[in-house]
Amino acid sequence: MRASAVPLAVSAAYVWIAMVAFGGISVETIVIYPNVFHNVPSSLAQSMEFFTVTGPADFFPPMGLVTAIAAVATVALLWRARPARWWVTASLGSLAIGEWLFSVLYFWPRNDLMFEEGIAVHTAEVLRQTAVEFETGHWLRLGMSALTATLAFVGFLRYQRERTLVRSRA
């Protein structure tokens, strides 16, 4: 693979990974969460029983790490490409702040409250309120994931267009 093809390949991989991550969060929103939160607190207990072999916590942390590595690599490789630079940097920022930091500060404590401590520690009303907060905040996380994937895609397109222009001038 030619050196000039490496940034293109890494950027394309990042777009693909970001879109897969967005798809995963979308499936979680449409398929999983209605089941998890339909009748709190009993649905939380049922969910914990269902997710004993594997669950979202087994998929999203590794997926997030792979997405972050691909984002950092893409920013580094496309830094000289002025038309793409800020798009991919913004996608990394969206990923870091809107998905990772927001998850750590907002979702992780609620996950512990609902799925680790549960009804043994908290009242049903506290669990219901926490579930509503979780679902409400999740829409922001879904939006940030869509933004991350979109910014990565626009950065990829800008890089590809610049690359094509440079090659046509040569």
pLDDT tier at 1, thresholds 50, 70, 90: low
Tens of pLDDT, residue by residue over 66-106, are 999 999 999 999 999 999 999 999 999 999 999 899 999 99
Q: Please, what is the average pLDDT of the chain?
A: 94
Tens of pLDDT, residue by residue over 122-165, are 999 999 999 999 999 999 999 999 999 999 999 999 999 998 88
> Which pLDDT score, from 0 to 100, does residue 41 have?
95
User: What is the four-CA torsion angle of 33, 14, 104, 37, rounded to 10 degrees?
Assistant: 0
| pTM (2 d.p.) | 0.91
- Number of C-beta neighbours around residue 99 at 10 A: 25
Distance of CA 33 to the CA centre of its chain: 16
Side-chain half-sphere exposure of 21, counting CA atoms within 13 A: 31
Q: How many whole angstroms separate alpha carbon 50 and alpha carbon 44? A: 10
39-50 average pLDDT score:
93
> Which pLDDT score, from 0 to 100, does residue 2 have?
63
Q: Which residues contact 79 (CB under 8 A, 6 or more apart)?
A: 85
